[in-house]
Structure 1
């Protein structure tokens, strides 16, 4: 069964990003619960920024699940990526992501690799891909040990030159020995890169482990021109069972953005 999910960012350095709720964890969770969300997706500075006992209490108090944790702060704050030519930085990036995986796995939540994948060096793409493969192989084996898959996110061409479509990322993942990495279908990135978003979902369905919900302009779904019904139908056809997580700008404000997200979720996924 798919679950409605909303993003909460607790990292001041990324406050201009596409996250619905900000800063106050409990107040955000209270609003999410009141609006009927099933789960939350958290963006924290690192794996120790939130007391796990406190988070466990809040999840119980507001009847929410932790669906996913983002790792982007590793790049934004510490400048870490899996494709950095410096082996020490790559090792730190792996360690950072692994710590986020351990944090998330305690709650059964997946960890997302988005911006921490980095970029291919000019004229050294194969070298960069070798670095990425090395990191993902290690982290995929760790995902197997902790029993929660790792999520790899294809980003649009303006954010990475590695893999921009579900197909391209899936082909790369198929070449790994690990079987514990899945794809994130981010509808904003897909709107830029995919020829047919619904068809891409149908073709890559078994590989999709997480979905980011945002309209074509990265506002909440229903505030742009994305043909959401076709996408929702495709997710149902491939029997997707994960979170539908709102990673969108808090436009016009967090509360209204969250309300619009639930309106769209109920329109497309509860019928």
Structure 2
């Protein structure tokens, strides 16, 4: 994953633990519940926790989406996502959905929206059935045709029969012209994860970023109980990128005490 730590899992968690991180969000491509024991052993050996299961590679690597015109592709995409939900359930963590919902084609928009809504309902039910919870990520229109803002995503999850929440990503919020601190303040109670990156570059965070203290304060005030993910480019050195972002967050947190 270009926005994730570029190393085998065992090496990545060792390095991240040394830097002070508490846990990891796993991005899965084709993993199910039968992989849970191996993942837990690897991550816990470093003193870390698995905090969430992401599904970005389903679309990013294999071009599988819930709105593809091909029924076989849509079924395959949902099959992968349901497997991730079952894995998340065994791990006892939420499962997130981002760009795998796909993009619209001219003349098919209404049908594609219906396909996506039905699939998300199915995914949310599967997650709940197996002890997980679906988190839907608002993403910019450069990535998907559906649910670009926190309000749009929240309107959808409010229609679901199963409990669900949000992932808020500062990069996508910036791309849609939405102030991240205001979004967090408004939606902290239903947000399970906040994904962070430097504004503009989508690179590692920098010490002194004026947004970070206000963002952390809004999370605290809003009763946020989820996790923060550093989802950004690695600049060719994941360890250095993770260290930079950790230092920036640590510095921002210090201003609140």
| 1:106 is the counterpart of 2:90 | yes
- Structure 1: unaligned runs, 5 residues or longer: 1-13
Kept in 2, the 8 Å contact 1:213–1:246? The answer is yes
- Counterpart residue number, 2:140: 156
Q: TM-score, normalised by structure 1?
A: 0.86
- Give 1:133 shift: 0.8
- Give 1:28 shift: 0.8
2: distance between equivalents of 1:52 and 1:40?
A: 14
Q: Kindly tell me the number of residue pairs found equivalent between the two proteins.
A: 254
2: distance between equivalents of 1:52 and 1:193?
A: 36
- Give 1:45 shift: 3.0
- Counterpart residue number, 1:192: 175
Secondary structure of 1:22 counterpart:
coil
Structure with larger RCO (C-alpha < 8 A, sep 6+): 1
| 1:92 is the counterpart of 2:76 | yes
- Counterpart residue number, 1:131: 115
Kept in 1, the 8 Å contact 2:193–2:226? The answer is yes
| 1:57 is the counterpart of 2:44 | no
Which residue of the other structure, out of 184, 194, 212, is the alignment partner of 1:201?
Answer: 184
2: distance between equivalents of 1:226 and 1:247?
A: 19
- Structure 2: unaligned runs, 5 residues or longer: none
- Give 1:56 shift: 2.0
CA RMSD of aligned residues (A): 2.2
Which residue of the other structure, out of 32, 52, 58, is the alignment partner of 1:74?
Answer: 58
Q: TM-score, normalised by structure 2?
A: 0.90
Secondary structure of 1:147 counterpart:
coil
- Counterpart residue number, 2:3: 18
